[in-house]
Structure 1
Amino acid sequence: MATQTKKLIEVALPLAAINAAAAREKSIRHGHPSTLHLWWARRPLAAARAVIFAQMVDDPSAWPDLFPTEDAQEAERQRLFRIIEELVKWENTTNETVLDAARAEIRQSWQRTCQANADHPRAAELFDPERLPANGGDVPDDLDARLVVLAPDCPHTKDGGSPAEAAAKAILETRGNAPRLYRNTLAFLAPDRTRLQDLDEAARRFLAWNSILADDETLGLTAHQKRQVEQQIASADAAAAARLPETYHWLLVPSQGQPTEPMRWEALRLTGNDALAVRAAKKLRSDGSYLVSYSPTLLKMELDRVPLWRGNHVSVKQLVEDYARYLYLPRLKDPASLLHAMSEGVGLLTWAQEGFGYADDFDPAAGRYKGLRGGTSVTLGDPYSAALLVKSDIAAMQLDAERAVLVPVGTGVPASPGETGSSGGAARSPSTPVAPQEVMPTRFHATATLDATRIGRDAGRIAEEIVAHLSSLIGAEVTVTLDIAALVPDGVPGNVVRVVRENCAALRIIPDFEDR
């Protein structure tokens, strides 16, 4: 037996808005079907549209996993009412924006119905939504970043509230009947509604010529005619391939500035000549919405800002899941990027100020961390590890206490239990090695060659990953010098010389042009 879901019409309707639109529709004298004949049945189309929509759309109470409280259900119900209030207006009879919003809601309810009846013995026949992707259940819910390509019947417009946003929202929130866990891994590629017709025409032309070639024997095509058909197929295929990236140029990215702010959609327009997936990746990276590498400094900042600590520590597994779940955190390519940042943060020489400690486990009874270390190399490769990142001040406090037990202050040698010197201090034990004193460097110098076409990128990385660490040290004096050398075999034109000299003067740089 099929699983039934409660529809909106079974619970409530915005009757006042429907009645008002129906009453007004009876007085319309131009363009209404009732003007075709005097005895035409005057059943207002406003009521028909409202009833059909409410019969096909699920009531929020049918999905308690998505809307667990009565307040949440009522808020969603009011949102559906607002769609009906626009749908019943006679002026919106041919308004594609309003119709697309209604179609998106119907499509979403149908997808949920198909998913709920996936185990039906005739599911393939009766509950096949025929969509790409069919529903959120087709999109894996894992830790890796993914680009979801929406179906052609989910176009995007600049007006907001497009079918693409509705479909993307449904996929982002659920996977089948269950809520989606890892929402911060998805971005969506959607077609443009104004360009969709051109792509549809090209695809139909390609399919039509292919059907002619498939029936060549029935049609009795000659060899010459077959060659003409093949040429038309190639031409139609090239046209469809060219229109595909022109149509699919909207990138929808879910984002959230702060944990307390609502989620919003950012619509980014793709450009370039690369494949669609490559264009999308480049656009996300340039916009800062997709990171293929991550620095320990940024990780430490997010740990303290949100905060992501669970008390004085957080497990590796929990932190990996946090970055995949929450939209207010940076979107990373995969867990390996985050694991690398964790490893670097533990291994920093300045880990106590800019990093964090690392421990194998925590002993609640003793109130101490097991296998605690900081400022040492650690390799992390398992995103499901139960190991812990520890707040740097807490880790430093325990490590200092452990060193104080090993080497009492003023002796420089390890203590042997039960043995004391004449002065009450610990006597040297020949079986215990003396802890070596750390020698810290006092100067740093490095030279780097930057890509002349990407100076901003390279200089920014150097500033973030090197200069920032050195500048944060108390008493540090950091000087950054930029050397520019250009060799132009054919000589520098006079206008370029003049512009460079003027810009150097404005930037207080002393230029030096040399002859051959």
Structure 2
Amino acid sequence: MSLKPWREIATPHKDVLAGTFKQSEFAADITQVANGTAPAEYQDAEQFFARTYITEGMRLLLISVAQRLAGQGGDPVIQLQTAFGGGKTHTLLAVYHLASRSVPTSNLTGIPPLLDEAGIADLPEARVAVIDGIKLSPSQPRRYGKHTINTLWGELAWQLLGEAGFEQVADSDRDGTSPGKEILTDLIRQAAPCVILVDELVAFIRQLEVGKQYKAGTFDSNVSFVQALTEAMKAVPDAILLASLPESEVEAGGTMGQRALESLEKYFARVESVWKPVATEEAFEIVRRRLFENPGDRAEVEGISRQFSDYYRQHAEKFPVETQSNEYFERLCRSYPIHPEIFDRLYEDWSTLEKFQRTRGVLQYMAIVIHRLWNTDNRDALIMPGTLPLDDSNVRTKSIHYLPQGWEPVIEREIDGPHSAPADIDGHDTRFGSVQAARRTARTIFLGSAPAAANQAVRGIQTERILLGAVQPGQTVGVFEDVLKRLRDRLHYLYSEQDRYWFDTKPNLRREMESRKQNIEKGLLDDLIKQRVTRVFGRKHYFGGIHVFTPSADIPDEYGSGPRLVVLPPQAAFNRSESNPAYTQAELILYQRGDQPRQKQNRLIFLAPDFDVVNRLREQGRTFLAWDSIVTDIENGTLNQDISHLNQAKRSRDHAEQSLGQLIRETWKWLIAPVQDFVNGTPHLEWEAVQV
């Protein structure tokens, strides 16, 4: 069964296909929705829920909101606290549309079964107030008709009950002092059933310098308002407050942001119920709904996923253990047409970067990737780590946007692009080029290792995960294993340690090795090759003697205990030409012992190197000597490098030494022996050559 390309099964949304999507639209804006100015996919309740996957956390929260508005329990205050892009604002929008009831709940995808679970037959329409800390200014009052509103509590009262509500807090708004709990309780009770949605509260309060009076009040008066509001919510059974707070002090921003976050967390913690963030598995469906109009026919999706699952099981020793379970087959189905490994790397690794906004970041990144792949007629069965078109300027720019400086030249030279080393490797070996093995492997390593910090104890991505991200069913795993070794031996910014590989913006020691290799003295190289050839034969043999690169004068001319094997040096290589250097050198030794004629000529046979392999042998010898000198210099302090570079140099030296030994056996493979014929009564020397 052939693998059908993802583009023939799944259909992206029109804005993704056309590249007309606006990245800002991935960032939901609750104030725009409240003002009626948001894009249709957020403004229209039916469209919003049609594209929204109700996660487990959102399901529990919406049930709690519905129960609260119906007066059947539920939490009075819910704090939404996750990392950037974790879905806080999107969840606030879901609550907004559920509570405002602009359309019947029966028209909202996923809501009827949720209300059934909550035991609510008729959800009451609620007033909704939206307090957006980014849109409000401590020094710039808002005007509503003849009224000037300065504070958060003035804004809240106006949104809930208009002029009548504002009159209840007018004095506190004018003075910048927090209204008491009782006033807020009365206000909320009159507005109930009601929902108060507070977004980016820290962004507002961190602007209030401690000890300074603003039109919006002081730092302390605003914190006191939050305390009174959270307490008031408990007293009104059909009112609920949802507030979003940043997850970390870094996201809170600066000293004042951290202080504001600490103060708000202290008061919210008294009554709040913390919302459950989006799980990686749930992100599959969130991304699919937003990016794909139709993710594909279920039968076709299962068919492709089954082929991948079966392939992983057929090569179980090559892939991560989790791929062997039926659960991984289900993951393949749920994430189609995107491979689960992309989600795992983005959510587990890239989400640790300060700029990367989890679900929002994944949406933005994958929208650009899918647009590029669609327009270049990508024919992969799944969108995999190895599929990422890092040669595209938009994809590359988005990738390095989240990373420290220095990645662009690394991507262009060593990962992807027409002039990159992987492209060159693919272009010069049809085994690799037919499946773009080098480029797919390099892309996979980049996605799995670029976010890693230099000070991490364990860096890089394991070979099994590289194969998982690069290989498709029907392809030969060994091809990708071979190209991984080729990349390791060639790239200057690729590191490896044991079974892990990673890219870095700092060059590895390969450039130092290449420089040293050019300066290896010929005598040093000749001595190394002679030493290693001698080592191959050892001491146990049936010859009268083995003479490695030995001058003719030093090869005995006697019968001895058996024939003597003369191992010819690299410059006396065997080839098929008439002027065969091996025959020339062997004939000289056969006839002469130094300046004297040789008498026992029939006691010599010769082993000659292969002409076509000698240059590779010399190159490998230089490589070994270069790595060996680097290890020595690091160990004695002449070359200042850390322990990871020392380990890399040792591994490279050992690998070069192993390859050198293999090449020596491949090089000395021509056994040649003299044969004497008589032509017209005159002795004539001939040579017999046998490959061993």
TM interval, shorter chain, is: under 0.3
The structure number with the bigger radius of gyration is 2
Which one has a larger percent helix, Structure 1 or Structure 2? 2
Question: Structure 2-normalised TM-score?
Answer: 0.20
Which one has a larger percent strand, Structure 1 or Structure 2? 2
